[in-house]
Structure 1
Amino acid sequence: MDWTLEVVIVPVSDLAASIAFYRDQVGFALDHDTTNEHMHVVQFTPHGSGCSIVIGTMPSQNEMAPGSLKGVQLVVADAAAAREELVGRGVECSELMAFDERDGGTFFGFSDPDGNSWAVQQIRARAHTPLIPLEARGRFGEGVEL
Protein backbone atom coordinates (compact mmCIF):
# COMPACT_ATOMS: atom_id res chain seq x y z
CA MET A 1 0.00 0.00 0.00
CA ASP A 2 1.33 3.46 -0.93
CA TRP A 3 1.18 6.21 1.66
CA THR A 4 1.65 9.66 0.21
CA LEU A 5 2.19 12.89 2.08
CA GLU A 6 0.02 15.39 0.24
CA VAL A 7 -0.69 18.30 2.61
CA VAL A 8 1.26 20.01 5.38
CA ILE A 9 -0.62 22.51 7.53
CA VAL A 10 1.39 25.67 8.18
CA PRO A 11 0.20 27.71 11.19
CA VAL A 12 0.07 31.44 10.44
CA SER A 13 -1.39 34.51 12.14
CA ASP A 14 -2.15 36.72 9.13
CA LEU A 15 -3.68 35.01 6.09
CA ALA A 16 -3.28 37.97 3.74
CA ALA A 17 0.41 38.41 4.60
CA SER A 18 1.00 34.66 4.31
CA ILE A 19 -0.74 34.45 0.94
CA ALA A 20 1.44 37.27 -0.36
CA PHE A 21 4.56 35.63 1.05
CA TYR A 22 4.01 32.09 -0.25
CA ARG A 23 2.51 33.10 -3.61
CA ASP A 24 4.40 36.26 -4.51
CA GLN A 25 7.72 35.92 -2.74
CA VAL A 26 8.34 32.18 -2.50
CA GLY A 27 6.52 31.48 -5.77
CA PHE A 28 4.30 28.57 -4.75
CA ALA A 29 1.28 28.03 -7.01
CA LEU A 30 -1.99 29.14 -5.40
CA ASP A 31 -4.27 26.14 -5.89
CA HIS A 32 -7.34 27.57 -4.17
CA ASP A 33 -8.49 30.20 -1.72
CA THR A 34 -11.82 29.12 -0.23
CA THR A 35 -13.93 31.09 2.23
CA ASN A 36 -17.35 30.34 3.65
CA GLU A 37 -19.19 31.02 6.89
CA HIS A 38 -17.20 28.27 8.69
CA MET A 39 -13.63 28.69 7.49
CA HIS A 40 -11.02 30.23 5.23
CA VAL A 41 -8.57 27.76 3.65
CA VAL A 42 -5.76 28.48 1.20
CA GLN A 43 -3.71 25.78 -0.53
CA PHE A 44 -0.36 26.25 -2.29
CA THR A 45 1.83 23.75 -4.11
CA PRO A 46 5.54 24.20 -4.74
CA HIS A 47 6.28 23.74 -8.45
CA GLY A 48 7.19 20.11 -9.10
CA SER A 49 5.81 18.87 -5.77
CA GLY A 50 3.15 16.28 -5.02
CA CYS A 51 2.70 17.78 -1.55
CA SER A 52 0.90 21.05 -0.87
CA ILE A 53 0.78 23.39 2.09
CA VAL A 54 -2.43 24.71 3.61
CA ILE A 55 -3.02 27.80 5.73
CA GLY A 56 -6.32 28.92 7.15
CA THR A 57 -8.81 28.99 9.98
CA MET A 58 -10.08 25.42 10.24
CA PRO A 59 -9.83 23.94 13.77
CA SER A 60 -6.95 21.62 12.82
CA GLN A 61 -5.06 24.65 11.50
CA ASN A 62 -5.46 26.46 14.81
CA GLU A 63 -4.00 23.67 16.96
CA MET A 64 -0.41 24.82 16.32
CA ALA A 65 0.85 28.25 17.29
CA PRO A 66 1.76 30.51 14.35
CA GLY A 67 5.45 30.06 13.61
CA SER A 68 5.76 26.71 15.38
CA LEU A 69 6.43 24.61 12.26
CA LYS A 70 10.18 24.15 11.92
CA GLY A 71 12.47 22.65 9.31
CA VAL A 72 10.02 21.53 6.63
CA GLN A 73 12.30 20.48 3.80
CA LEU A 74 12.10 21.46 0.15
CA VAL A 75 14.40 19.97 -2.50
CA VAL A 76 15.77 21.81 -5.54
CA ALA A 77 18.24 20.92 -8.27
CA ASP A 78 20.34 24.07 -7.76
CA ALA A 79 20.40 25.61 -4.28
CA ALA A 80 22.41 28.67 -5.31
CA ALA A 81 19.92 29.51 -8.08
CA ALA A 82 16.94 28.87 -5.78
CA ARG A 83 18.43 31.06 -3.06
CA GLU A 84 19.19 33.82 -5.56
CA GLU A 85 15.59 33.67 -6.83
CA LEU A 86 14.15 33.96 -3.31
CA VAL A 87 16.52 36.77 -2.29
CA GLY A 88 15.55 38.58 -5.50
CA ARG A 89 11.92 38.38 -4.40
CA GLY A 90 12.73 39.83 -0.99
CA VAL A 91 12.93 36.62 1.05
CA GLU A 92 15.59 36.65 3.75
CA CYS A 93 17.66 33.46 3.39
CA SER A 94 20.59 31.93 5.23
CA GLU A 95 23.85 31.45 3.41
CA LEU A 96 24.47 28.21 1.51
CA MET A 97 25.88 25.49 3.77
CA ALA A 98 27.70 22.47 2.34
CA PHE A 99 27.66 19.75 4.98
CA ASP A 100 28.86 17.12 2.51
CA GLU A 101 30.30 17.41 -1.00
CA ARG A 102 28.10 14.55 -2.22
CA ASP A 103 24.78 15.32 -3.88
CA GLY A 104 22.26 16.18 -1.18
CA GLY A 105 24.76 17.81 1.17
CA THR A 106 24.08 21.49 0.40
CA PHE A 107 21.35 23.47 2.19
CA PHE A 108 20.03 26.94 2.96
CA GLY A 109 17.00 28.08 4.89
CA PHE A 110 14.34 30.75 5.14
CA SER A 111 11.37 31.58 7.35
CA ASP A 112 7.90 32.97 6.69
CA PRO A 113 6.60 36.14 8.40
CA ASP A 114 5.46 34.11 11.44
CA GLY A 115 8.76 32.25 11.85
CA ASN A 116 7.79 28.89 10.32
CA SER A 117 11.13 27.68 8.98
CA TRP A 118 12.03 25.92 5.76
CA ALA A 119 15.19 24.00 4.85
CA VAL A 120 16.10 23.86 1.17
CA GLN A 121 18.28 20.91 0.10
CA GLN A 122 20.11 20.66 -3.18
CA ILE A 123 19.82 17.34 -5.00
CA ARG A 124 21.30 17.89 -8.45
CA ALA A 125 19.68 14.67 -9.73
CA ARG A 126 16.28 16.42 -9.57
CA ALA A 127 17.29 18.44 -12.65
CA HIS A 128 17.09 15.35 -14.87
CA THR A 129 14.94 13.02 -12.74
CA PRO A 130 12.07 14.98 -11.16
CA LEU A 131 9.83 13.14 -8.70
CA ILE A 132 6.75 14.09 -10.72
CA PRO A 133 7.30 13.67 -14.46
CA LEU A 134 6.62 16.81 -16.49
CA GLU A 135 3.81 15.11 -18.42
CA ALA A 136 1.94 14.43 -15.15
CA ARG A 137 2.12 18.03 -13.92
CA GLY A 138 -1.08 20.01 -14.23
CA ARG A 139 -3.23 16.97 -13.50
CA PHE A 140 -2.65 17.49 -9.79
CA GLY A 141 -1.01 20.10 -7.64
CA GLU A 142 0.52 22.45 -10.17
CA GLY A 143 -1.78 25.43 -9.82
CA VAL A 144 -4.89 23.49 -10.74
CA GLU A 145 -8.04 25.28 -9.66
CA LEU A 146 -10.01 22.98 -7.36
Structure 2
Amino acid sequence: MEWTLEVVVVPVSDVDRAKAFYADQVGFTLDHDVTPAEGVRIVQLTPPGSGCSVVFGRGAVPDMPPGSLKGLQLVVNDLPKAHAMLTERGVEVSEIQVHGMGTWDGEADLNNVGFVHFADPDGNGWTVQQITARR
Protein backbone atom coordinates (compact mmCIF):
# COMPACT_ATOMS: atom_id res chain seq x y z
CA MET A 1 0.00 0.00 0.00
CA GLU A 2 1.30 3.46 -0.91
CA TRP A 3 0.88 6.41 1.42
CA THR A 4 1.16 9.77 -0.26
CA LEU A 5 1.35 13.19 1.30
CA GLU A 6 -1.11 15.30 -0.69
CA VAL A 7 -1.81 18.48 1.32
CA VAL A 8 0.01 20.55 3.93
CA VAL A 9 -1.92 23.21 5.86
CA VAL A 10 0.01 26.48 6.08
CA PRO A 11 -1.11 28.84 8.87
CA VAL A 12 -1.45 32.42 7.61
CA SER A 13 -2.91 35.64 8.97
CA ASP A 14 -4.03 37.17 5.66
CA VAL A 15 -5.41 34.81 3.02
CA ASP A 16 -5.15 37.25 0.11
CA ARG A 17 -1.57 38.24 0.98
CA ALA A 18 -0.56 34.56 1.28
CA LYS A 19 -2.28 33.69 -2.00
CA ALA A 20 -0.41 36.49 -3.80
CA PHE A 21 2.91 35.44 -2.26
CA TYR A 22 2.63 31.76 -3.14
CA ALA A 23 1.09 32.26 -6.60
CA ASP A 24 2.74 35.45 -7.85
CA GLN A 25 6.10 35.40 -6.11
CA VAL A 26 6.96 31.75 -5.45
CA GLY A 27 5.20 30.52 -8.60
CA PHE A 28 2.83 27.89 -7.21
CA THR A 29 -0.21 27.04 -9.35
CA LEU A 30 -3.56 28.14 -7.93
CA ASP A 31 -5.73 25.01 -7.79
CA HIS A 32 -8.75 26.68 -6.26
CA ASP A 33 -9.99 29.55 -4.13
CA VAL A 34 -13.45 28.65 -2.92
CA THR A 35 -15.99 29.90 -0.43
CA PRO A 36 -18.23 26.86 0.11
CA ALA A 37 -20.16 28.42 3.00
CA GLU A 38 -20.47 31.73 4.80
CA GLY A 39 -17.28 32.42 6.75
CA VAL A 40 -15.37 29.60 5.03
CA ARG A 41 -12.65 30.11 2.43
CA ILE A 42 -10.17 27.54 1.19
CA VAL A 43 -7.21 28.33 -1.06
CA GLN A 44 -5.12 25.48 -2.46
CA LEU A 45 -1.90 25.88 -4.47
CA THR A 46 0.59 23.36 -5.83
CA PRO A 47 4.31 23.79 -6.53
CA PRO A 48 5.07 23.10 -10.22
CA GLY A 49 5.52 19.34 -10.71
CA SER A 50 4.56 18.44 -7.15
CA GLY A 51 2.06 15.84 -6.00
CA CYS A 52 1.55 17.74 -2.74
CA SER A 53 -0.30 21.02 -2.35
CA VAL A 54 -0.50 23.68 0.32
CA VAL A 55 -3.82 24.88 1.65
CA PHE A 56 -4.81 27.82 3.82
CA GLY A 57 -7.92 29.83 4.48
CA ARG A 58 -10.43 30.45 7.20
CA GLY A 59 -13.28 28.59 8.78
CA ALA A 60 -12.36 25.09 7.61
CA VAL A 61 -8.63 24.75 8.22
CA PRO A 62 -6.98 23.88 11.52
CA ASP A 63 -6.40 26.81 13.83
CA MET A 64 -2.63 27.19 14.07
CA PRO A 65 -0.63 30.32 14.88
CA PRO A 66 0.37 32.11 11.65
CA GLY A 67 4.04 31.58 10.90
CA SER A 68 4.37 28.51 13.13
CA LEU A 69 5.11 26.02 10.34
CA LYS A 70 8.84 25.44 9.85
CA GLY A 71 10.86 22.95 7.85
CA LEU A 72 8.81 22.66 4.69
CA GLN A 73 11.11 21.46 1.92
CA LEU A 74 10.93 21.73 -1.83
CA VAL A 75 13.29 19.87 -4.16
CA VAL A 76 14.57 21.18 -7.50
CA ASN A 77 17.13 19.94 -10.02
CA ASP A 78 18.76 23.36 -10.55
CA LEU A 79 19.22 25.35 -7.35
CA PRO A 80 20.95 28.39 -8.89
CA LYS A 81 18.05 28.71 -11.35
CA ALA A 82 15.49 28.37 -8.53
CA HIS A 83 17.39 30.94 -6.45
CA ALA A 84 17.43 33.37 -9.39
CA MET A 85 13.70 32.85 -10.05
CA LEU A 86 12.77 33.50 -6.41
CA THR A 87 15.01 36.56 -6.26
CA GLU A 88 13.60 37.96 -9.52
CA ARG A 89 10.07 37.54 -8.13
CA GLY A 90 10.92 39.52 -5.01
CA VAL A 91 11.23 36.66 -2.52
CA GLU A 92 13.81 37.29 0.20
CA VAL A 93 15.90 34.15 -0.12
CA SER A 94 19.18 33.16 1.49
CA GLU A 95 22.39 32.72 -0.44
CA ILE A 96 22.99 29.21 -1.72
CA GLN A 97 24.45 27.10 1.07
CA VAL A 98 26.42 23.87 0.72
CA HIS A 99 25.84 21.59 3.69
CA GLY A 100 28.97 21.48 5.82
CA MET A 101 30.82 23.99 3.64
CA GLY A 102 29.02 27.32 4.01
CA THR A 103 28.14 29.65 1.15
CA TRP A 104 28.37 28.14 -2.34
CA ASP A 105 31.50 29.13 -4.27
CA GLY A 106 29.83 28.68 -7.67
CA GLU A 107 31.84 25.54 -8.34
CA ALA A 108 30.95 22.84 -5.79
CA ASP A 109 28.47 20.13 -6.79
CA LEU A 110 25.12 20.98 -5.21
CA ASN A 111 23.50 17.56 -5.61
CA ASN A 112 21.90 16.60 -2.28
CA VAL A 113 23.93 19.22 -0.37
CA GLY A 114 22.78 22.56 -1.84
CA PHE A 115 20.09 24.56 -0.03
CA VAL A 116 18.40 27.98 0.06
CA HIS A 117 15.89 29.19 2.62
CA PHE A 118 12.98 31.62 2.56
CA ALA A 119 9.90 32.49 4.58
CA ASP A 120 6.41 33.59 3.62
CA PRO A 121 5.05 36.93 4.89
CA ASP A 122 3.91 35.28 8.14
CA GLY A 123 7.27 33.60 8.80
CA ASN A 124 6.44 30.03 7.76
CA GLY A 125 9.85 28.60 6.87
CA TRP A 126 10.78 26.89 3.61
CA THR A 127 13.94 25.17 2.36
CA VAL A 128 14.75 24.42 -1.26
CA GLN A 129 17.21 21.57 -1.87
CA GLN A 130 18.88 20.50 -5.09
CA ILE A 131 18.60 16.80 -5.87
CA THR A 132 19.70 15.81 -9.35
CA ALA A 133 20.42 12.15 -8.65
CA ARG A 134 19.04 9.79 -6.03
CA ARG A 135 20.57 6.63 -4.68
Q: Which has the higher strand share?
A: 2
The residue number in structure 1 matching 2:17 is 17
Deviation string 1:28-75 (CA, Å, 9 cap, x unpaired) is: 00000001314100000000000000011135432x100000010000
Distance 1:75 1:5 in 2: 15
The residue number in structure 2 matching 1:75 is 75
Question: What TM-score comes out, normalization by structure 1 length?
Answer: 0.81
Tell me the amino acid that sits aligned with residue 98 of structure 1: V
Tell me the amino acid that sits aligned with residue 76 of structure 2: V
The residue number in structure 2 matching 1:61 is 62
Distance 2:8 2:127 in 1: 15
Does the C-alpha gap of structure 1 residues 60 and 33 become closer, same or farther in structure 2, counting only changes over 3 Å?
closer
Partner SS state of residue 133, structure 2: helix
The answer to whether the 8 Å contact 2:41/2:60 transfers is no
Distance 1:112 1:61 in 2: 18
The residue number in structure 2 matching 1:124 is 132
Does the C-alpha gap of structure 1 residues 76 and 95 become closer, same or farther in structure 2, counting only changes over 3 Å?
same
Q: Unpaired runs of 5+ in structure 1?
A: 127-146
Q: CA deviation at 1:124?
A: 1.8
Q: Unpaired runs of 5+ in structure 2?
A: 101-108
Distance 1:82 1:91 in 2: 11
The residue number in structure 2 matching 1:140 is none
1:28-107 matched pairs, under 5 angstroms: 28-35=28-35, 36-62=37-63, 64-99=64-99, 101=109, 103-107=111-115
The answer to whether the 8 Å contact 1:7/1:54 transfers is yes
The residue number in structure 2 matching 1:132 is none
The residue number in structure 2 matching 1:3 is 3
Matched, 1:115 2:123: yes
Distance 2:112 2:77 in 1: 9
